[in-house]
Amino acid sequence: MLDIENFEEYAQKITQFVLDYYKNIESFPVKSIVEPGDIFHKIPNEPPIEAESFDQILDDFNKIILPGITHWQHPRFFAYFPANTSFPSILAEYLVSALGVQAMIWQTSPASTELEEKMMIWLRKLLGISEDFNGVIQDTASTSTLVALLTAREKFSNFSINNQGFRGEKFVVYCSTEAHSSIEKAVKIVGIGANNLRKIPVDDTDFSMRCELLEKQIRNDIKLGFKPLCVVGALGTTGSMAIDPLIEIGEIAKKYDLWYHIDGAMAGSALILDEFSKLREGVNLADTFVFNPHKWLFTNFDCSAFYIKDKDTLLKTFEIYPEYLKTDLDRRVNNYRDWGIQLGRRFRSLKLWFVIRSFGIKGLKKIIRSHLDMAKELSELIEKEEIFEILAPVNFTTICFRYRPRKEDSEGNLEILNKKLLAKINESGFAYLTHTKLNGKFAIRFSIGQTNTKFAHVFETWEFIKSIAKQLN
């Protein structure tokens, strides 16, 4: 059995595995090629009665588990959005696991609480957003959006729903048709109901929310006896990284007394660059704002930075004081269990501390800017090809494009063709991309942002895509 006597031996073996993994990561197929059930059926149906050797466990990890891994840290991972990490973050996570901290209140880990408080100040300064924001680390942007909606619900019901449940409140929430699915999920969980989520149409060209239709919908809802509760603006939609008119939305929210939440899960990290300073103006109009350092700030999953201006309303929504959690210090410190849904909390701030100090502001900016440059160069390469077309503006690091060898092809035929192209790319194991639909058009998404991606990886993948397309043609 693994214990303190032989821990060092196996810790060294795992460290060596990590080193070898990153040195040889490009030899793995980016997307796992196993079939459904392959992993499941290789694992015994019954747990072992006797202790098994750690050598056997590691051997099974290599034979059974590793083939079923899709390699998110592969430099040719261009699917979805990145969930990138870095070596400082990996080492911090190792320490977090070893310490086994449960940071639910200040007293259970003063260092975790106070480091988190400071890291949220650091991030706020890095992004250049308003000092009115108070920050806390949540697990994901989905949770952060849920927390924002719950807080808005309680504020506009005078905290009666927490105490008495719904009593006929007819709340409605607004987002664009391109907004993330987590908003609809949150609306369901909060009790407002998916039918009371108003999805506002977007511009046909840049896929941003149409503010004139937002205001029209708000006015119509008020006439029908609904209570507009919250509007969610997107600083980079999931499909195409479209940017909603954040300032205009903020002005409408203020005019009609709505809670204003901004989802910047991926693109929020770009605010550390002065090139995006104009976006800060829109963010500063929000009541709540979220972005994920685990997407594009080299801090491994999970680490979602959630900011709120009205901290008192947040606390009044979530705080609860069972006798066994009360301490004499409660009014002098932050107890982050009262800043969200979970009571138990991980020591996530250590990862941020290690990453920010290891890269420095200059280092973080350099990598993010390099990803933006790669996206710009790739979009220029695509535009030079007559048989490919870009379907959305390239605002950050995601390029939405499709293969169109014949101008006369119908949308149906183009979708079939591009689905085949995407499937062959992913089946090859050379690279991994995903898709979306824009104006009903099937688009392949090329999402750049993995920590160790270089332009050579982007260029090689683009050449590979063209070669597969020629075979299809």
pLDDT single digits (tens) 214-246: 999 999 999 999 999 999 999 999 999 999 999
Taking the CB of residue 341, how many other CB atoms lie within 10 A of it? 13
* pTM of the predicted model over 0.85: yes
| Long-range contacts of the stretch 142-145 (C-beta < 8 A, 24+) | 142/180, 142/182, 142/185, 142/186, 143/304, 143/340, 143/341, 144/288, 144/290, 144/304, 144/306, 145/180, 145/182, 145/183, 145/186, 145/232, 145/261, 145/263, 145/290
What percentage of the chain carries pLDDT values higher than 90?
A: 87
Our CA angle for 280, 281, 282, nearest 5°, is 90
What is the pLDDT at residue 30? 95
Residue 473, pLDDT above cutoff 60: yes
Q: What's the whole-number mean pLDDT along residues 190-208?
A: 95
Contact 416, 386 (CB under 8 A): no
- 257-306 pLDDT, tens digit per residue, is 999 999 999 999 999 999 999 999 999 999 999 999 999 999 999 999 99
Question: Rg of the Cα trace of the chain?
Answer: 24
Q: How far apart are CA 438 and CA 371, in angstroms?
A: 23
Q: Which positions ≥6 away from 161 have C-beta within 8 Å?
A: 153, 154, 167, 169, 191
Whether the per-residue pLDDT at 323 is higher than 60: the answer is no
Residue 25 — φ and ψ, nearest 5°?
Answer: -60, -30
Q: What is the mean pLDDT of the chain?
A: 93
Per-residue confidence band for 131, with pLDDT thresholds at 50, 70 and 90? very high
Q: What is the pLDDT of residues 422-460, one digit of tens each?
A: 999 999 999 999 999 999 999 999 999 999 999 999 999
Confidence at residue 262, expressed as pLDDT on a 0 to 100 scale: 97
pLDDT at 407: 85
Q: Quote the pLDDT of residue 336.
A: 85
pLDDT of residue 78: 97
Sort strands 259-263 and 288-291 into parallel, antiparallel or unpaired.
parallel
Alpha carbon distance 80, 444 (integer Å): 10
Q: What is the mean pLDDT of residues 378-402?
A: 96
Q: What is the DSSP letter of 91?
A: H
Instruction: Write down the pLDDT at residue 123.
Output: 97
Q: Please, which pLDDT band fits residue 321 given cuts at 50, 70 and 90?
A: low
Specify the DSSP class assigned to residue 15.
H
327 falls in which pLDDT band (50, 70, 90)? low
Is the confidence at residue 44, as pLDDT, over 80? yes
The reported pLDDT for the residue numbered 192 is 94
d(CA 416, CA 388): 15
Q: Taking 90 as the threshold, does the pLDDT of residue 337 lie above it?
A: no
Nearest to 201 by CA among 191, 211, 193: 211
Average pLDDT over residues 42-65: 93
Give the three-class secondary structure for 340.
coil
322 band by pLDDT with thresholds 50, 70 and 90: low
- SS3 call for 192: coil
Phi, psi of 39 (to 5 degrees): -70, -50
pLDDT at residue 169 is higher than 90? no
Query: What pLDDT, in 10s, does the model give residues 340-388?
Result: 998 889 999 999 999 999 999 999 999 999 999 999 999 999 999 999 9
Token pair listed for 212: 């004139």
What local confidence, expressed as pLDDT, does residue 403 receive?
96
Give the confidence band of 81 by pLDDT, cuts at 50, 70, 90: very high
- pLDDT at residue 330, rounded to an integer: 62
Give pLDDT, residue 225. 95
